Amino acid sequence: MPANLTPAYFEAEKRFRASETPEQKLEALNEMLKVMPKHKGTDGLRAELRTKIAKLQKESAKEQATSKKGGVYHVPKEGAGQIAMVGLTNAGKSQLMAATTSARVEVGDYPYTTRLPQPGMVKYENVQVQLVDMPPITDQDAHPWFAAVLRATDALMLMVDLEIDPVAEMQELLTELVKYRLGPEGVPDISDEVLFHKKGLIVGTKSDLDLSGENFAMLKAEYGSAIPVLAISSTEETGLDDLRKASFDMLEVIRVYTKSPGVEADMTDPMVIKEGSTLEEAAEAVHKDFRRNLKFALIWGSGKFPGQRIKRDHIVQDGDILELHA
């Protein structure tokens, strides 16, 4: 089937070929994708453009992260993982940071209180999860660096206000995310131009002002089958324990402990690794030499019996204790 490309497409393609910077190339490629007719004849070309866009965006994000290293726009990851808090103005992000972390944040009932990414650590059981309070997604001053921070983070906390119309606010938030080619995994009906999918959690804030719970019920009915949805009140401190657990869960990591022969494991100091990791990968997380020199290991937890000797390809589970012998 012929592609039947439009004059607008060829004009954008001409600008792409004349572009000298990655930003100019991305702008032209996005325009080509936008004006291209959608039918079977253009499927291959659309896929090719998306590949080019993804490659350029990855390069651009890497350059921005490198250039901002140590600066105000670069947030080094700490703890079990990093979650960016994303929302419109006055969504309650800073209030949540103040209620759950020791970070010193400015909280106000006026727009654009947060101007820069603000990290803070929230504790879940014996691990710390890093939250990053982002400026409102509609803040034009943040536009040049916003995408790079979001793409570098491990997951997204999508925050909406339960007081008025959280469903409409969520739809607007998703629309803004798509502009950065970002979207939460599992949410239906987001643009097919989304190239970066992240684990996501929807948090309805100010639940104390949704007295009947009707707004939260509508939000959960709309998105709850695709992505976790929670209701919290930072001022009343309700729902915060559920939020801590959900934040840890969406990072898809596990806690593994190590011990020496004849010594009890320190259960206050876990090693955090990705779900589905093998014994080999856990050993490498302790030290790269362990993987190479590992002779055998004993496990307490997911083994058939305490102290079972396991193979290198054994999949470790949350709470396992390992005794590594090299």
Cβ-count burial of 82 within 10 angstroms (0-12 exposed, 13-18 middle, 19+ buried)? Answer: buried
How far apart CA 293 and CA 325 sit, in angstroms, is 8
Q: Would you say 82 and 103 are in contact if contact means Cβ atoms under 8 Å apart? A: no
Angle separating helix axes 143-152 and 43-67, nearest 10 degrees: 100
Instruction: Please spell the DSSP secondary structure of 184-228, one letter per residue.
Output: ETT-TT--TT--EEEEEEEEEE-GGG-TTSHHHHHHHHHHTTTS-
Q: Residue 234 region, left (φ>0) first, then alpha (ψ -120 to 50), else beta?
A: alpha
Residue 75: the pLDDT is 85
How far apart CA 146 and CA 133 sit, in angstroms, is 12
How far apart CA 105 and CA 227 sit, in angstroms, is 28
Q: Average model confidence (pLDDT) for the chain?
A: 87
pLDDT-derived band at 211, boundaries 50, 70, 90: very high
Q: Where are the alpha helices (DSSP H) in 68-136?
A: 93-100
Rounded mean pLDDT, 184-211? 88
Residue 230: Cβ within 10 Å count: 21
Residue 312 has pLDDT above 80, yes or no: yes
Residue 112 has pLDDT above 60, yes or no: no
Rounded mean pLDDT, 37-45? 81
Q: What angle do CA 121, 248, 60 make, to 5 degrees?
A: 75
Residue 108 has pLDDT above 70, yes or no: no
If you search the block for the tokens 């803040």, which residue do you land on?
139
Rounded mean pLDDT, 2-8? 72
pLDDT in tens, 236-279: 999 999 999 999 999 999 999 999 999 999 999 899 999 999 99
How far apart CA 77 and CA 225 sit, in angstroms, is 30
Residue 69: the pLDDT is 46
Rounded mean pLDDT, 167-192? 88
Q: Would you say 91 and 159 are in contact if contact means Cβ atoms under 8 Å apart? A: yes
pLDDT in tens, 51-90: 888 887 776 666 555 444 444 567 889 999 999 999 998 8
Q: Which residues pair with 85 in a beta bridge?
A: 133, 157
Rounded mean pLDDT, 198-202? 95
Residue 248: the pLDDT is 97
Residue 72: the pLDDT is 55
Q: Which residues pair with 132 in a beta bridge?
A: 84, 119
Rounded mean pLDDT, 98-105? 82
| Residue 289 tokens, joined | 């030499």
Sorted by where each starts, the structural domains of the chain and their CATH numbers stand as: 7-67 (no CATH), 82-250 (3.40.50.300), 254-325 (3.10.20.30)
Q: Where are the alpha helices (DSSP H) in the chain?
A: 7-18, 22-35, 43-67, 93-100, 143-152, 166-179, 214-223, 240-250, 279-286, 288-293
